[in-house]
């Protein structure tokens, strides 16, 4: 493929990547093309070529997909927050199903897996309960929005269509205050300036907001005026927090937070349980679809009331409490101590006494529980995008629970981990320890390329086949 980048290439798009890019093939090599859709014939210029793949820039659509639509957002596709607004929603759900199936087959080595259609949402807009907006100043003008696709340039966005409309009022009020007060904004290159990010969290119980201002300082000049400005524009604000982050890099929140107005936390509800949400709490961004996801986890667990359950990467206890209704005992295991403290309080508030939350790494906590004679019948895994630590998977192979339920937001790392648990050669076992019994994609991230998937594994040689 000499001088391949110097001339246009014609490709047929067969699938979408996990990031929502069209995938075509050129001489057997995968080419990722933002903006291209499955079923389309396109022309592109290659802009990057690696040993096993290339990236292309879409120059012309020669044959468009019948599922291509006009994106409703004026910032699409320049903004990198959404990748699929040009694909109608039913086709998004099918593309995400294919993404999960492809990862299981190509990375996991599973053949003939029946992946059902992605469970979609009633309305794929205005669904996020958590928005994070970088703040910059360009040519003297404040920008609050999202990063331009493939860059760290901030696009000034008045209203994001996957965020609640009320967020636009917070953004406008804060932008005016920064502009008028002269407070500096953060420059990641020089690491100078105060204001870094705005985070807005929503309560589905009260409709109120937690507004988190991320800055490099512990006190902002003119805080009283800032509170007055924001509260005057958005009286729904229940909590206003200043979070301090002095570290370089892309991490949004720092470790220290101070409430400058209102409550320490707001509250969200999932499956009849009330959860306290603080600035650092992990809480799924799509509350309605999280209920769908947890209902599927409960269905897969099929608890009869006598089981011991481990909820690994348990966060603030959302899945643990849902499972507690039908389990004899639930152990929530989480390495982030503030999340464990929140989980303990959430269980206390709900009056649930047979759930125990333990702070520590799963690979340390699970063997310690085993030494005490505690062994799980069911294990639920809900790791971050990077997947499970290898030590966690090895511990599961040693403990041999009857069922493992894996909740994942990244199909590729899910498939990698399943290969270890379900394919004997990868785990060093002569025979697979577990078999893949069921899979269900769930859409928590409409208009983006991301998809959640929930997997049921049963121990080989045990249980009824599904």
Catalytically active residues are: 409
**Nearest Cα to Cα of residue 411 among 201, 52, 65, 106:** 106
Please confirm whether the linkage preceding 77 is cis (ω < 30° from 0): yes
Contacts of 348 (CB under 8 A, 6+ apart): none
User: Among all chains, which residue has been given the structure tokens 């608890």?
Assistant: 303
Task: Report the side by side order of strands in the sheet with 195-202.
Answer: 154-156, 141-147, 130-138, 195-202, 209-215, 237-244, 256-262
First CA to last CA distance, the chain: 47
Structural Rg of the chain based on CA atoms: 24
Which alpha helices (DSSP H) does 87-233 contain, by range? 89-106, 166-181, 223-233
Question: Do 199 and 214 form a contact (C-beta atoms < 8 A)?
Answer: yes
Question: Do 17 and 449 form a contact (C-beta atoms < 8 A)?
Answer: yes
Question: Do 79 and 148 form a contact (C-beta atoms < 8 A)?
Answer: yes
Q: Compute φ and ψ for 379, nearest 5 degrees.
A: -120, 130
356 CB neighbour count, 10 Å cutoff: 16
Question: Do 311 and 292 form a contact (C-beta atoms < 8 A)?
Answer: no
**Nearest Cα to Cα of residue 145 among 72, 76, 98:** 76
Rounded Cα–Cα distance for residues 60 and 10 (Å): 9
Rounded Cα–Cα distance for residues 48 and 352 (Å): 54
User: Token pair for residue 335?
Assistant: 């390495």
**Nearest Cα to Cα of residue 87 among 101, 75, 74, 77:** 77
Rounded Cα–Cα distance for residues 173 and 166 (Å): 11
Compute the Cα dihedral for 145, 149, 151, 153 and give only its sign.
Answer: negative
What's 124's DSSP letter?
A: S
**Nearest Cα to Cα of residue 209 among 239, 231, 230:** 239
Rounded Cα–Cα distance for residues 440 and 382 (Å): 14
CA angle 276, 440, 431 (to 5 degrees): 110
What's 431's DSSP letter?
A: S
Q: Compute φ and ψ for 174, nearest 5 degrees.
A: -65, -40
């Amino acid at each position: 493929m000499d001088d391949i980048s110097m001339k246009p290439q014609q490709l047929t798009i067969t699938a979408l990547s996990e990031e929502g890019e069209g995938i075509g093939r050129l001489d057997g090599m995968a080419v990722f093309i933002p903006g291209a859709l499955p079923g389309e014939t396109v022309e592109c210029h290659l802009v990057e070529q690696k040993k096993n793949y290339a990236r292309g820039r879409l120059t012309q659509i020669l044959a468009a997909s019948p599922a291509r639509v006009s994106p409703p957002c004026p910032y699409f596709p320049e903004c990198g927050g959404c990748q699929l607004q040009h694909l109608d929603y039913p086709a998004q759900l099918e593309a995400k199903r294919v993404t999960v199936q492809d990862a299981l087959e190509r990375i996991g080595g599973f053949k003939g897996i029946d992946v059902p259609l992605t469970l979609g949402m009633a309305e794929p807009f205005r669904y996020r309960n958590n928005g994070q907006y970088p703040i910059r100043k360009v040519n003297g003008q404040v920008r609050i929005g999202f990063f331009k696709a493939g860059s760290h340039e901030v696009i000034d966005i008045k209203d994001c269509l996957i965020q609640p409309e009320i967020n636009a009022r917070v953004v406008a009020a804060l932008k005016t205050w920064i502009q008028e007060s002269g407070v500096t904004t953060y420059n990641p290159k020089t690491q100078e300036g105060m204001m870094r990010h705005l985070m807005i969290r929503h309560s589905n119980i009260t409709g109120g907001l937690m507004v988190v201002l991320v800055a490099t300082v512990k006190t902002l000049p003119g805080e009283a005026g800032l509170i007055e400005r924001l509260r005057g524009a958005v009286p729904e604000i229940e909590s206003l927090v200043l979070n301090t982050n002095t570290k370089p890099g892309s991490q949004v929140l720092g470790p220290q937070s101070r409430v400058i107005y209102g409550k320490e936390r707001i509250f969200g509800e999932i499956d009849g349980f009330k959860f306290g949400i603080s600035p650092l709490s992990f809480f799924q961004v799509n509350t309605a679809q999280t209920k769908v996801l947890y209902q599927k986890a409960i269905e897969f667990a099929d608890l009869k009331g006598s089981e011991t359950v481990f909820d690994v990467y348990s966060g603030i206890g959302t899945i643990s409490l849902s499972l507690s209704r039908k389990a004899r005992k639930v152990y929530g295991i989480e390495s982030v101590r503030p999340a464990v403290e929140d989980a303990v309080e959430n269980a206390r508030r709900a009056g649930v006494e047979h759930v125990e939350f333990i702070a520590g790494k799963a690979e340390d906590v699970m063997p310690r529980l085993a030494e005490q004679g505690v062994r799980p019948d069911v294990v639920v895994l809900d790791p971050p995008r990077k997947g499970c630590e290898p030590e966690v998977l090895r511990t599961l192979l040693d403990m041999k629970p009857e069922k493992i339920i894996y909740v994942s937001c990244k199909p590729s790392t899910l498939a990698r981990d399943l290969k270890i648990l379900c394919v004997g050669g990868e785990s060093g076992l002569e025979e697979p320890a577990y078999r893949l019994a069921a899979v269900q994609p769930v859409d928590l991230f409409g208009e983006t390329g991301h998809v959640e998937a929930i997997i049921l594994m049963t121990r080989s040689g045990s249980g009824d086949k599904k």
